[in-house]
Chain A
Amino acid sequence: MTDLLQPRPQRAGPKHLWLWILLAILVVACLTIACAAGGVAWLISSGRITLGGRTPAAATPGASPVATQPSRGTALDLRLMADPPTTLDPAMVEDSASAEYVDKIYSGLVGLDEDLNVVPEIAERWDISDDGTVYTFHLRDNVYFHNGRKATAQDFKYSIERACDPATRSPVARAYLGDIVGAEDKLDGRASEVRGVEVLDSRTVRITIRAARASFLAKLTYPTGFVVAKEVVESGPSWWRKPVGTGPFRLRSWDAKQIVLEKHDRYYQPLGDVRTVTFLFGGGAPVTMYEQGELDAAPVGVSDIERVLDPANPLHYEVQETPLLYTQYVGFNVRKPPFDDPMVRRAFALATNKQAMADVFFKRTRVPATGILPPGMPGYNENLQAIPFDPDKAREALKASRYGGAENLPRIVLTVTGEGATNAFAELLAGMYEEVLGVHLDIEQVDWATYLQDLNAHKLQMFTLAWSADYPDPENFLETQFHSRSELNNTGYSDPEVDRLLDQAMTERDTAERLALYQQAEQRIVDAAPWIPLFHGVDYTLVKPYLRGLKVTAQGNYHLRAVFAATQ
């Protein structure tokens, strides 16, 4: 471009009036377009004009949420910040950004409460057969889709079969619905229906699973099991751009800048005062926007945490703390040298000063982990024997390894992805091992897609990653990550005893017994150290004092069903 912007010699005489006119037109056109675009946006956003008879998108709240303290019973128009979804089709959801919206627009047979217990949703109650394989769900009578139609048992059969239809191409149906009898046949195109889902009457649905599996209900809380309306889905391939569900909120608008949800008036359970929720996209500076009154709640990042939590700062009264179902870890490829030697892994684990890293680097946004399961997850073991931070023992362990010391170790590459903080963190880790063990790590940074490909191909020697639970069951951590037959076992860890414990836990119906089995397995894994569990996540979110009941779930999404305007 550069040379175009240089002046070229001109021979133009004064006769080129047309060029003048052109310039004038251009300027006027620019002005008009800009003003029109800006003006219309302003008129809409300031509520001066309305579209389709409704007060549109970014209505009142942005203007002055602070100035007018709403009293109880006031309709709330919330403004939050979130990432844009990749899909609003529940069968296709596999990322938490999409789950944020899908959880609000749709609902399923069962759901999770704030403490991660499975609670009735559309099914008001259910019976489980003695052998644990047959679930009979009794539906509520007052369940309506956003288009006004009543949802029935037939809709559930349709929704599950649709999710398992190969033509839907759901990436997650096998994982979440694969336990149902006949689901795999349908997924593989061998059957036209899912045999295990039967409609007994319009308010009763019976689901049969292949073998008792205690985590089945928890899996049903994932969006894949949510109910969709057949007539909407069949209206065309992009039906989910205008989704219709049974959830507490319905989609009002969705564009490049934001998603606006509004209250679903015929939702079957009582809702709070929220009238509309605007999710703004594009992670600008949420805390600053919160301080300027543009957001009603905002996640606090590491760079702001000290200032916000500072007792001298009035903001610190507005911070909510939520533990997240999230474990960050260092993973080893246990099939590649030097980490095929358990003593080397142990040495690294002993050399890891989690507390210092949590304090220094993450400020207070992480808590040091002892085991694999995060607190808040059923089966979390307070008495787990963790590998402590002990530099002397670490050096001893390295001496006891087959390498006999740091100098004989082969080149070790720590692969990381992402930018900014991730790298800084990898540097911190490497510095720590250098200091304690005298081992030099080469840090290699690759982009996310490459990273995942190499991770899945077991090419990475040492890596750092986090695992976030999809449903609140220890199975989702221990079996998915450490069973020798699991697809997601990225470390290559394989222990027949752990496999046996996990298999046994999978079918065990007594909850206490089952969790005990998981705890045994977890202890064995922690001792073998294919992972060094580093931290569990803690979410800090600022919430305006005029809101009551706005929570962040352990999966990091907003819980908006019971938000009320606070009385002063």
Chain B
Amino acid sequence: MTPVLAQIAQIFLVVALAPLITGWVRLVKARLNGRIGASPFQPYRDVFRLLQKEAVVAHSASWIFRAAPYVTFAAVWLAACIIPTFTTNMVLAPAADLIALVALLGVARFWTALAGMDVGTSFGGLGASREMMIASLAEPAMLMVSFSLSLITGTTSPAQIVAFVLSGGVGVEVSLGLALAALIMVAIAENGRIPIDNPATHLELTMVHEAMVLEYSGRHLALMEGAGMVRLTLFMALIGGIFAPWGMAQPEAGALGLAIGLGAFLAKCFLLATALGIFETVIAKMRVFRYADFLGGALLLGLLATIFLYVSEAV
């Protein structure tokens, strides 16, 4: 399979798969709560239903409100294109690295926050303000993770990191463990999952992401929700790809290798989604001003991951 074909397949794979993963997390949570829960395919129907509905836009909204869903979705989608899912052999892989990935997610966040403030309601400002506070700690934490990964593997490109880990260049390192812990904490915050944010709440005290997209409806809401689903898939691909890259197809792999890669990717996603569902069920939501402790911890773990490299070298 040529890099171009692999890239196109990846572009559509992440979007096609994303609602299923979100549906699966919801199903796991429902079962653990003792409910039967909706089918894991329910998010597809939800998105389709939203697309059919007319979009209601507030009188006070400007063009930013209407452009933001498209920009947010495209930015997250673009970020998801450069993370290797089933193969490392993709044409867009050199276009952006982990630093650019963080920044692309930043673009999505910037526009969503602006859209939250555009209508001029108190909830929109509340969501935007809290989201930027979370991001101001989560973003540096993720950059620190990139820093330690680049020191361990000698590159910041996700595809190259995966190739390096697959070639057996990395043993078991303390730093790698710390980086993994920091990345998971960042992933929880970036995706607005419990204990940072609750995707199923509309309560003033606890809302973050939902408060920003409160005014959206119809196709705009579908895009915002879609962006959230793709973002979740992206982080699963990132964590699964870097810390458990086994099965991923290398450039020289044939059709069988690609099939194994795809199967491995699906298996990893469902494992991680199940784990997320269990984690969200057993943990309680945090107060807003406790976030700083949680994310500051992630930042410090990322920093420790880089510094431990030299400590272990020196000992």
Q: A and B, one complex?
A: no
| Interface residues of A, Cβ cutoff 8 Å to B | none
| Interface residues of B, Cβ cutoff 8 Å to A | none
